[in-house]
Every structure is written in structure tokens, then in C-alpha cells.
Amino acid sequence: MRIVAVDETVACATSPRPMRGLKVSSADWHAELKSAVRDPAQLLTALDLPDSLLPAARAAAKAFPLFAPGGYIGRMTPGRLDDPLLRQVLPLGEELDEVPGFAADAVGDAAATKSAGLIQKYQSRALLITTGACAVHCRYCFRRHFPYSTAPKSVDDWEPALDLIRADDSLDEVLLSGGDPLTLVDTTLAELAERLAAIPHLKRLRIHTRLPIIIPARVTSELLAWLCGTRLTPLVVIHANHAQEIDDNVANSLARLVDAGVPLLNQSVLLRGVNDSTTALVDLSRRLTDLRVMPYYLHQLDRVAGAAHFEVPISRGLQLIAEMRTQLPGYAVPRYVQEIAGEAHKRVLA
């Protein structure tokens, strides 16, 4: 596959819209990843937060490292410990508490693994763990304990997984996940997309990513070239939990994807202290729909060890969805779902 230069126009064949003419270099997003904050002391200093938080933050970061790019930190309000973006990335002492019912593999990934990096839980679709790298370390991450060292490290290493996909003609969709697949370089992703497109029974390629939210410069023409460059129908599922995450730069990155004809869906996680209010969820849905992004899922928290302090009772989630329906059109209300290990589909709560 030819990766076009950053100033060329790219559009999916299904879209009549031209791509907006923003030029973005791949060096920009690489630089943001490399310069991300990894030291809790640096994060606290940048946001004028008290040093008394540091011992617990460092202890929690030993178990699951801090990783937060500067652009994302820049959307936080200094001096506010309850900032909804800060709460998603600041390591806290509560993460070290052992809470009954919270486990390392909360969603049954191990039992659903068919080969290294290949997970299949549901009929007709399979998921590839493309990398363990992310643009941000979300403290509630359901894969924070995942054994990423066992996942393939190169496109050729994917061949055993691809062989299983080739052999199963009941599959018509492959999801690229991780980690975050868009932390990989576009040449690698283009080659993987080509190999998937060569499998006749596949119809769709779905990307699950937080990069357009965390580092909007990641949406380059090179990305759009391979995403729109095969016969597979592309879909991108982004992950925003709060409207404060979506500034003008993020809005522009999402517009580039939509203008290129890529359907965009958003999934959120219901998080205590982040978005567990009607106002927060309504504001997020309105912001998304204004940007032509469909609110898709609101997930009940996966009960992963280290994230118990984020859990919101399902009864409260049901109340929030009911209140959202009184303020929003139906298309702007996400489905409230819960993943139960071993079940044939996500459980729809509302």
C-alpha cells in the first residue's frame, strides 16, 4: 500500500466529503508520546497540587505507571484535585487496596484467547491485541494487568492469528485494540490492514483508540490513507469520558476522520468523580453529536483490580440514563452496558 504525503487529499470511497486541509506531521504525535509525563511529582507540580499526594501516587505508579501527554494535562484545571481529567490519570493509594470481586482479568480475556494476541468472545468478530502501548494510562483500565509481553511484536508474528481468522469464515469483522493500535506507526498498520483485507470473508475493520482524544495530531493523512485504502469498511471507536477532553484540536481531528467518510462512535466508562452526573453525561453527548460522533456505549466499570474506587452502582447508572432520556434525543443516549466474562454479548442494562 502506498502511504501518501501529508498534503495529499484522502477520502474513503464511501464518502462524498473532501478531507479538511489541515497538514499534520507524524513527528508531532511521536514527540508528544515521547515527552509524556511519567513522574507523579512532575504532574503535581504542573497542576499546582500539594506534595502530600506524592507518596501514595508514587506507590500506585509502581504497580501501574503514570503516563499522560502534556496536551492532555493542559486541559486540566490547576489546583483542582477533583478535575475530571486529572482523576483519570493520577495514581491514588486506593489502587493498592484489595477489594473482593475485583480481579486482574475482569472480562475473561485469558479464556477467550485463541492464539497470541487473538481474542474472540463474540460471534462474527475477533479482536487483535496489537500493542501494549497507550497514549495515556487510564487508572480504571480493564487491561492494566494484561500480559502484553505475550502479544506479537511484528506483522509477521501475526501470521498464526491471521491463519485462524482465514480458517473461520463466520468472521466478518476484525477489531484492532490493545493498548492502543494507533501508537503503532502507519507503515505497520497499513501492512496489517492489507493482510486482513486479503481475507475474503472479512468485511469491516474496526479501530478502538483513544489517540484522537489524547493526542489529536495522530490523525494524519498517512493514517487516513491506510484506513481508507483497503476494500474493508473502516469504523473507529474513540473513547472520551467527559466533554472537557474535547477541545478545538480534538474537534478538528474528529472532523478529519468524519470528513474522510469514517464512521465515528464513542464509548465511555461510568466513573465515580469523573462523569457520574446527568450534567456531565448530557454535555458529553451533546458535544459528540455536534461533532458528528455517535454516542455508542456507556460501560459499567469493569471490575479490574485497582479500580474499585471508580465504581458507580448500577442503580445510579440506570437513573442517569433515565435522566439523559428526558434531555436528549434518542440517538444521543448511549446504550448502558456491562461486560460479563463468558457471556455471548455485552449485557444491555438500559
Q: For 61-82, how does the pLDDT look when each residue is reduced to its tens digit (9 = 90+)?
A: 999 999 999 999 999 999 999 9
* C-alpha separations of 86 from 137, 206, 273 in Å: 11, 29, 10
Interatomic CA distance for residues 65 and 47, integer angstroms? 18
Instruction: Say what percent of the chain tops pLDDT 70.
Output: 93
Give yes or no for residue 1 having a pLDDT over 50.
no
Residue 171 CA from chain centroid, whole number: 23
Average pLDDT for residues 105-120, to the nearest whole number?
97
Contact predicate 226/10, CB 8 Å: no
Give yes or no for residue 57 having a pLDDT over 60.
yes
Give the per-residue pLDDT at 23. 42
Confidence of residue 249 (pLDDT cuts 50, 70, 90): very high
Give the per-residue pLDDT at 217. 97
Give yes or no for residue 320 having a pLDDT over 80.
yes
Average pLDDT, the chain: 93
Average pLDDT for residues 157-172, to the nearest whole number?
97
Global pTM? 0.93
Give the per-residue pLDDT at 26. 59
Phi, psi of 24 (to 5 degrees): -130, 130
Confidence of residue 16 (pLDDT cuts 50, 70, 90): very low
Tell me which residue of 257, 264, 199 sits closest to 228, measured CA to CA. Answer: 257
Give the per-residue pLDDT at 269. 99
Confidence of residue 27 (pLDDT cuts 50, 70, 90): low
Confidence of residue 12 (pLDDT cuts 50, 70, 90): confident
